[in-house]
Amino acid sequence: MSLSIQPRRTFLKAAGICLALPALESLKAVSAAPKNQPSVPKRMVCVGNEFGMYSDSFFPKEYGADYEFTKLLKPLEAHRKDMTVLSHLDHGQKGGHFAVHTFLTGVKSVEARNMPDGGISLDQRAAEHVGSKTRFPSLTIGSEDGLHGGCQMSWTRTGTRVPPVAGPRQLFHQLFTDNDAQAKKIAKDRIQLQGSILDGVLGDAKSLKLRLNKTDGTKLEEYFSSVRDVEVKLELDSKWQKVPKPKTDLKEPVNQGLSRDLPLIYDLIALALQTDSTRVATLEVGGSFAARDIGINKGYHGLSHHGKVKASIDLLVQIELYQVQQFARFIDKLKSIREPESNGCLLDNTMALMGSGMGNANSHTNNNLPLVLAGGGFKHGEHKQFPKESNRRLPLCNLFVSMLQQFGVETGSFSTSTGTLTGLEMA
């Protein structure tokens, strides 16, 4: 039996999945926000790299408000009052490169099935909250090249890796290029066909469920969850096909490689936030980062395994310094964009997290992750130290709970969290 869109949405709700995509009310008008929502939306940007930061050049020796900026943090010095450096937070993971992808999830993808919310990443949890309010619930930017098969920062509840937008040219087209009439018709036909297929598949699957044992029933529920992901995407695609994309004076860029493209990618993310095309974005700097494009004739990955050789460390720090410089430039950009509704700037309402799932690439450890949080309405200005002792360590996911709450998500937990992050307060 074919299901209409309304019963299908009722089914989704009955299945116990909490999606911030109201079935019909939020689809009536693109620009209409719920009355109890603030006029200025919250945003979240998470930036990670695959190989961490050289800790001796990253972490300040002093704690509190009077810390001295290290070589790697020096580009951010102008933003002292708008950022917080965090020490001794991690996920308690081991595995070196094979645990880097836990940066925004807290758990390895192979272990995520046992978690209450699966292996969903911080950005995708925030994207669920945004739902259909923006054209793109989230943007994932990175590369499909790299040490372990490309960008692996963003994950859905079903443990599916969110594939990245591969460069500024593709990102520009997604944000600002409208399809012509023929392309829109093809897209509409595709959406209708896929919707019809889902209707039939769901009907057959629900009938089948009555004949399955417990183990197979669990497998079928995982299948249902995957179908729900597709349903949400189809509904979003259908809705936003009718809405023109924002205009920009920026010319269509040409991809030059991740290292050269970083400044432009950051500019496009800022534009995406400013035009409310999205409120959530991630950017991963991975193995595709070509150090030669910034004047270093040795490979990024090889230098991360420096063997404590000073010449290699110096080159590695140059690569990392360039990345921090581009993040600092991004913070500059967010501060330069005024938001009259809040009597402030875009950074005031944007949480910008820079870090990594790798603590020390040379020794393949994933503890004491390098972390900087800027903007977003928190009280900043300090280097915060958290307990070093394993029996007193606070999970990094506590920070994620605080960020989600600041984003507007009503939750007291995320992944391996034990609560919110002690000492991180709202402004």
Q: What is the pLDDT of residues 46-58, one digit of tens each?
A: 999 999 999 999 9
By mean pLDDT, which of 99-113, 325-339, 348-362 is the weakest? 99-113
pLDDT category of residue 275 using cuts at 50, 70 and 90:
very high
Using CA atoms, how far apart are residues 167 and 249, in angstroms rounded to an integer?
Answer: 19
What is the mean predicted confidence (pLDDT) over 18-37?
38
Q: What are phi and psi of 234, to 5 degrees?
A: -65, -40
Q: What end-to-end distance do the CA atoms of the chain give, in Å?
A: 53
pTM: 0.81
Is a pLDDT exceeding 80 seen at residue 274?
Answer: yes
Q: Of 350, 340, 411, give the one whose Cα is nearest residue 39.
A: 340
pLDDT at 185: 55
∠ CA 102-106-107, nearest 5°, is 75
What is the mean predicted confidence (pLDDT) over 75-101?
96
Residue 27 vs residue 159, higher pLDDT: 159
Task: For 209-255, write each residue's pLDDT tens digit.
Answer: 666 676 676 666 666 666 666 656 656 666 677 788 999 998 999 99
* Mean pLDDT for the chain overall: 83
Conformation bin of residue 68: beta by default, left when phi > 0, alpha when psi is -120 to 50: beta
pLDDT at 39: 73
By mean pLDDT, which of 47-56, 228-237, 277-286, 288-297 is the weakest? 228-237
Is a pLDDT exceeding 90 seen at residue 6?
Answer: no
pLDDT at 68: 98
Residue range 40-177+251-407, CATH number: 3.40.720
What is the mean predicted confidence (pLDDT) over 10-16?
35
Residue 179 vs residue 304, higher pLDDT: 304
CA of residue 320 relative to chain centroid, distance: 20
pLDDT at 209: 61
Domain boundaries, the chain: 40-177+251-407, 179-243
Which residues pair with residue 16 across a beta bridge? none
What is the mean predicted confidence (pLDDT) over 121-149?
87
Using CA atoms, how far apart are residues 385 and 382, in angstroms rounded to an integer?
Answer: 9
pLDDT > 90: what percent of the chain?
A: 63
Q: Of 283, 281, 287, 291, give the one whose Cα is nearest residue 260.
A: 291
Using CA atoms, how far apart are residues 406 and 377, in angstroms rounded to an integer?
Answer: 8
Task: For 140-199, write each residue's pLDDT tens digit.
Answer: 999 877 656 667 899 988 888 899 998 999 999 999 998 666 655 555 555 455 544 545
pLDDT at 390: 81
Residue 354 vs residue 116, higher pLDDT: 354
Query: CB of 119 within 8 A of CB of 91?
Result: no
Q: Which residue has the tokens 């995509």?
A: 21
DSSP E strand boundaries for 186-261: none
DSSP E strand boundaries for 9-167: 43-49, 83-87, 139-141
Per the structure block, which two tokens stand in for 368? 């004491």
Is a pLDDT exceeding 70 seen at residue 98?
Answer: yes
Is a pLDDT exceeding 80 seen at residue 131?
Answer: yes
pLDDT at 318: 98
Per the structure block, which two tokens stand in for 393? 């360590």
403, containing H or E segment: helix 397-407
